Structure 1
Amino acid sequence: MGTDRRNSNRTPLEDYALLSDMRTGALLSREGSIDWLCCPRFDSPSVFSALLGDADDGRWLLTARNGKVVDRSYRDRSFIVETIWETGSGKVRITDLLPSQLDTQVMERDERTRVIRRAECIDGTVTIEHDLRIVFDYGRTTPWTRKVGAERTGESGLLSIAGPDALFLTGPHLDPDSDAQRRRDREQTNGTRTTGQSRPDDTQGAISSALVGEFEMSEGDRLEWMLTWHRSHLDAPEPIDTEKAVEDTLDDWQEWASHVKVRNRQEALVLRSLLVLRALTNGATGGIVAAPTTSLPEDFGGQRNWDYRFTWLRDASLTIGTLVDHDFTDGALHWRNWLLRAVAGDPDDVQIMYGIDGERNLDEQELPHLSGYENSRPVRVGNGAYSQYQSDVVGEVMLSLASLRDAGVEEDEFSWGLQKNLLSFVERNFDRKGHGIWEMRGSAQYFTHGRAMMYAAFDQGVRAVEEHGLKGPVGRWRSLRDRLYEEIMEHGFDEELDSFTQTYSNDEVDASLLQLPTTGLVAADDPRMLGTVKKIEEDLLDEQNMVRRYRTEAGLDGLPGNEYSFLMCSFWLVEQYAKSGRAEEGEKLMDSLCGYATDLGLFAEEYDSESGRLAGNYPQAFSHLGFIRALDALEDNLPESGA
């Protein structure tokens, strides 16, 4: 539809805040524009896509004319954003949120997604500028918009419909005859976006789908808008008590946070990271998305752009372990139950990732009409890596479920039975090559990290029998575990390099090797591990001492271009330092890495040391998990920490 404008979003990722209702997430820029929102789920088609294009691909801007942002923060321990704008004549506080559904049964029954935006003049006078541009289906379908009277909904508003989607806007009336609206309509008529609009031939009563307006405010005035997504065949929704919705949302986040144990060091950033993990979780199913976004580039202007709005077994497993470490086993059970449902069935059908509800088909496609963030194309939805075999994932699942057992959570027949099936899956795929933890799209290999995680899987099976009294073929598991140990030491460790290697067939190193101590294969201070760390420092550190995943120039991943350093890998190096007698160096690196969190405590996937910008999908669960684990390791190993 339309022409390729290629005027893509240049708002830095660090300027975005995350809003979440534990079903979907929105990205709100510092300048007051919601540039990304998918309804009703994280993985649904977006209704605002300016993040991957420009304003005409959909956004919702609410700003103070001629103003500047002087403060922005999350309200207490929540995902309610409060932004203070200052103009030459006054100040205004703008509050943004996706109100949460406190009741899981209500969440399952009511698919509606709501966005509340509130402006309160706290000093002098200000002019609020409003610009809402709705384009459904990743910016492909412009809706038909009309006024809906109060007799239908209990509150008058503007209803935008296209195909299965509808958005209902209530709040201060937007005048279709205003000067601001006429200016916007002229822009649209002059060719900014005229094709692809979904409207009936009879457009009587229809108005522009770009809803703009200006509102004068004085001290004490309050304006409030609510945008509600619902299925188009249903009536526009009844109004809700927004004041109660705001307070209930705040109470919900704070109640959850009160159960989590947080240590003193970087307490606020740790708590925010734990809250991010919850914010990226579907409250009904327990599926946690790796990130709420797709196609944010690993290399600005490059092709390494992937959809992360799905649930990886690896991420879910690490989340379980992290919550257990912070004494929140009840919360960890929510993620565990999703994981067990996802892998239930034929053990030969285990995937590395699933949809939020456990869906298995995540076919990948490209969206050529979107110019991409920083002109990084293609924009992709779906993720073809779901069909890959990665030999590490069962080991990570077994390690996380072992942490629950060790914390006193008893196994039931369903849970332990599935774990035995997973070990059978590993056994049947014992000699199979994989694509590695990084989902490389080159040829399959024996990745050392993956083989070590297979070792960990069998080792945890043995421990479950020997230490917890569970039933299983412990002799066979022990034999397979020991066989893997000998194999890895023979083929995955290079005596001449004094280092473990990325694969059995090359002499490269890979940041995933930093995780070998978590498998139980070697200790963090084992000489072979120390030699590996030295090689990683030589080959994978950038100028800011951040860690790349691997040398892309080696060509193993089958992809063009390069990528920036990964925050998760850098946190792994901190963890390794802490556990191998280099805790002070780890603390120094950690202090540097904490500086790459945004003002709201959010971490992206990567950091471009040259430009000083965050990159990759955002915010990234993997990065927040790595941060928490690294900080815990420092707390346990710094003598002065008092832990």
Structure 2
Amino acid sequence: MRIDQQLTAGKAEYPMIASLAAVGDGRSMALVGPDGNVEWFCPRCFDGTPLIWPLLDRDRGGRLQLSTPGDLKTHYLDDSAVLEFEVHSASGSARVTLCMEWPGSDDQQSLLWQVDGLAGRCEFTLMFEPRPDFGSVAGEASLSAEGLIYSYQRQQLLLQADCALYPDGEGWQGVLSVDAGGSAGICLSVSLEQDAPPVPVSIESVPARIAATLKAWRDWCAALDCPASYRADVVRSAITLKLLTYEPSGAVVAAGTTSLPERLGGERNWDYRYTWFRDAGLTLGALFGLGCRDEAHRWAQWMQRTIEQHGTPLAVLYDVNGAAPPPERNIEGVDGYRGSRPVRVGNAADGQFQLDVYGELLECVSICDSMGDDAMRAHWPHMRAAADFIAAHWQEPDQSIWEMRSAPRHYVHSKVMAWAGLQRALWLKRRHDLDGDEESWVNQAEALRQLVLRRGVSADGSHFIRAFDDDRLDASLLLLARVGFIEGSDERFINTVDAIRKQLDEGGVALRRYPAEISDGLQGREGAFFICSFWLVEALVQTGRPREAKEFFEQLLQRKGEHGLFAEEFDTRSGQHLGNIPQAFSHVGLINAALSLGSFD
């Protein structure tokens, strides 16, 4: 593609969501567009206030660009989160390498660019136009011997480059030239301490820092226990989960962005830069399955600390430090991605009752324990309290795994996860002779199971249904065999899988979460969900159809983004990705599906 083709009447077009790439350092993430420009960057922390955000507003979102006219090709270097761009113009060609330094220091984080001349001469324009906190905060900039110092809200940044910087409108600009065989560097450093300036780096050290980052990623990837089939896709997903892990606490955020729409032009725009308990069991299983024991252990530690801090009832989501997320609010005066408004910060789902999160928590305990890690069992009193909560509250309706903003209902998946939670608690109690109300857990689990088998099935009893008194289907029912509520070979589960494929099919290549006519309290039609589609792969394996599972999985892989990343959803008609990116749950689904197929290699 040509960079100048990104411009229409002087205004840059929004990049396709599937064209975005991510770089990060375990604290925050920068998204990079197909033109090599930064589209989203929240310094210091995933859920912090954005500094650069043209992804949500082409006019007001600021700029962090290193650009030159010409043809551009972008890709990740193998087994890494390091990006490489090759630029070919009439005057010459060059290679640009971009990453966030990793592992980072405890004091600051750095975005690094290295430019290597390949032929002729290439001239790049460096543009830095910060717009802190959606443009609501004024910053101060000054030039020093080290570079450009920019301060706002007690935060300080330092931009260093192999070129002079000068004011340009509301930002700063420089011109950087490289000849064949020559090189140049750029470093944007962010202090992690309030009111403290970043430590200047030597621009000459940028190539070595990038090389060290590349080596660190490749060493980490080499230790992964990947199935032989689909290794490249599994490794890319593992790297993505690592990028979405907040290193100081071990929490895994649901996505790196806010307000990328699930329907273009609609209101289904959410802030996913937080941590959901409902994602816990599947995420932990994926990490353990790949041999990421340190990441899995620290994720479990985050959960136990959060429970100790807040107790029960559990909230649906927390921030990366285990605190309540900020109240959901709309950001006024921001266009939104391709006109999709509102742009939101915070998430109102934290006030919902979702019964399944308690089952997910106890599922995590049993996963840890079965793999010789007592990170969560060591805090048994809190796990016991979770089981007691399930026993006392499983008869109540909830908002389901999908966080419906309509009236609570008796969702079958929620009931099944409550049952699973009691089963895990009983297993742990008996295995380690722990204290707990075993009689109550046994009785309530059996009563719950019988109720689901009576009211959670179709009128003819042939398959499971979405909710009591609602014969429609829900993709979350594909998890019933995974958690052990029913055998994969059971005819009722096989019929459920087949009915879901028929009722929730989207173009033969993906699944919806639930039928389109179901009102979830929001306007507009959403896309097909990647996680649901990956669940189908696992369910087909469980029902003894690995060949069908493999074919469907390979169809899904064809839908990945240009850099191997997955958003939350996609439109089967246009092929566009929808929702926030990269989406942890989508990549977790890919890993678990590949692991299930791996048993048939």
Which TM-score bucket, shorter chain as reference?
A: over 0.9
Q: Aligned equivalents of 2:598 and 2:190: distance in 1?
A: 44
Measured in 1, the distance between the counterparts of 2:93 and 2:364 equals: 49
What does residue 89 of structure 1 align with?
A: 91
- 1:457-502 deviations in Å (ceiling 9; x for gaps): 0111122233444443322211111111101011111133732121
Q: 1:385 to 1:411 in 2, by over 3 A?
A: closer
> Aligned partner of 1:239: which letter?
V
Aligned mate of 1:75, from 74, 77, 81: 77
The answer on whether the counterparts of 2:412 and 2:465 sit within 8 Å (CA) in structure 1 is yes
Q: Secondary structure in 2 aligned to 1:132?
A: strand
Letter in structure 1 aligned against 2:292: F
Residue 524 of structure 1 is aligned with which of 488, 503, 510? 488
Name the structure 1 match of 2:137: 141
Which of 385, 388, 402 does residue 438 from structure 1 map onto?
A: 402
CA contact (8 A) 1:456 1:521 kept: yes
- Give, in whole Å, the separation in 2 of the partners of 1:426 and 1:347: 14
* CA gap 1:411/1:93 in 2 versus in 1, 3 angstroms: closer
CA offsets per residue over residues 501-546 of structure 1, 9 Å max, x none? 2111322211111111122111122111122222212221111431
Contact 1:129 1:213 in 2 (8 A): yes
8 Å CA contact 2:412, 2:456 repeated in 1:
yes
Q: Measured at CA, do residues 56 and 410 of structure 1 come closer, stay the same or move farther in structure 2, by a change above 3 Å?
A: closer
What is the match of residue 159 of structure 2?
A: 169
Q: Secondary structure at the match of 1:57?
A: coil
CA displacement 1:540-584 (0-9 Å, x = unmatched): 1111431001124221x1111110000000001111111112221
Deviation at 1:289, TM superposition (A): 0.5
Gaps of 5+ in 2: 1-8
Q: What letter corresponds to residue 138 of structure 1 in structure 2?
A: F
Q: CA RMSD in A?
A: 2.1
Size of the aligned set, in residue pairs, is 589
Match of 1:196 in 2: none
Shift of 1:413: 6.3
**Superposed displacement of residue 360, structure 1:** 1.5
> Which residue of 2 is the match for residue 202 of structure 1?
none
CA contact (8 A) 1:49 1:139 kept: no
**Which among 348, 354, 357 is matched to residue 390 of structure 1?**
354
Deviation at 1:113, TM superposition (A): 2.9
- Within the candidate set 200, 221, 235, 1:238 is matched to 200
SS state of the match for residue 128, structure 1?
Answer: strand
- 1:628–1:236: structure 2 CA closer, same or farther, 3 Å change rule? closer
Residues of 2 paired with 1:585 and 1:384: CA distance? 39
Distance between the aligned counterparts of 2:518 and 2:561, measured in 1? 32
Match of 2:460 in 1: 496
1:39 aligns with 2:46: no
Counterpart amino acid of 2:384? Answer: K
Decide whether the 8 Å contact of 1:257 with 1:271 is kept in 2: yes
Query: TM-score normalized by structure 1?
Result: 0.88
Q: How does 1:521-560 map to 2 (within 5 A)?
A: 521-555=485-519, 557-560=520-523
Q: What does the per-residue CA deviation read over 1:430-481, in whole Å, with 9 as the maximum and x for residues that have no partner?
A: 2221100011111111110000000000111122233444443322211111
User: Which residue pairs with 1:306 in the alignment?
Assistant: 270
2:185 counterpart of 1:224: yes
* Number of the residue aligned with 2:423: 459
Alignment of 1:60 onto 2:64: yes
C-alpha separation in 2, matches of 1:569 and 1:551? 13
CA deviation vs aligned residue, 1:161-200 (integer Å, no higher than 9, x gap): 33333332111333538xxx4xxx3xxxxxxxxxxxxxxx
Matching residue of 1:257? 221
Supply the distance in 2 between the matched residues of 1:625 and 1:235 (Cα, whole angstroms).
Answer: 38
Further displaced range: 595-604 or 389-398:
595-604
User: Which segment drifts farther, 166-175 or 378-387?
Assistant: 166-175
Contact 1:48-1:139 at 8 Å conserved across structures: no
Seq. identity, %: 30
Alpha-carbon distance between aligned partners in 2 of 1:9 and 1:216, rounded to the nearest angstrom = 26
Give the drift of 1:371: 0.6
161-170 or 387-396: which moved more?
Answer: 161-170
The alpha-carbon deviation at position 239 of structure 1 amounts to 2.5
Amino acid of the residue matched to residue 78 of structure 1?
A: S
Deviation for aligned residue 1:214: 2.9
Is contact 1:347-1:425 (8 Å) kept? no
Q: SS at the partner of 2:257?
A: coil
User: CA separation in 2, counterparts of 1:25 and 1:42?
Assistant: 7
Q: Which amino acid aligns with 2:557?
A: C
The one-letter amino acid paired with 2:122 is V
1:270 CA displacement: 0.5
Asked if 2 retains the 8 angstrom alpha-carbon contact of 1:113 and 1:229, the reply is: yes
Once the two structures are TM-superposed, the CA of residue 628 in structure 1 deviates from its matched residue by: 0.9
Say if 1:8 and 1:564 are closer, same or farther in 2 by CA, change over 3 A. farther
Secondary structure (helix, strand or coil) at the match of 1:41 reads coil
